[in-house]
Amino acid sequence: MGNLHQKKRQVVEEDCKKLLKLILESKLALCSPGDEDSTCDLEVCQFCSVCYPSLNRSRCCLKSICTECFLQTIDPNSTRPTQCPFCETANYAVEYRGVKTEEEKCLEQIEEQRVIEAKIRMWQQEIQDEEERVLKRQELSFSLSLSL
């Protein structure tokens, strides 16, 4: 039983060494305490909503994710490829690019604005469609009442 405990400890130590190596090689973002308040110039992990100075980015959809969340989303013992938690693409992987540039932040804001505008247009169309349905029902009801 002690042998099993020692083997598990070796595996954990090896995993920690691999993780540290990836962080030191700037292949993964530094594991740092997050901030719940995004008033500073921090990036928000789109998985846990905690703010960090810099984050990893999904290779498939470029969503920001902290190293802790990334490690929770992958299963190193699985034989099946991990799916992206954001866009569900297979073979999920991230890369660390450092702190977002002003251009990246600007492009992200533009994309967020486009999404908001598209949602508003959809809601407006739904409201308009519902108003048209109500009017048609009223017209039909009025026509029926006149014919009686």
pLDDT, residue 96, reads: 93
pLDDT, residue 2, reads: 56
pLDDT, residue 42, reads: 84
What CA–CA distance (Å, rounded) separates 15 from 121?
Answer: 48
Identify the CA nearest to 12 among candidates 66, 92, 71.
71
Helix, strand, or coil (residue 4): helix
Task: Answer yes or no: pTM beyond 0.95.
Answer: no
Q: Are the C-beta atoms of 66 and 55 separated by less than 8 Å? A: yes
pLDDT, residue 35, reads: 75
pLDDT, residue 65, reads: 93
Instruction: For the chain of 148 residues, list the mean pLDDT of each consecutive stretch of 10.
Output: 61 77 86 72 88 91 91 83 90 90 86 94 96 92 75
pLDDT, residue 17, reads: 85
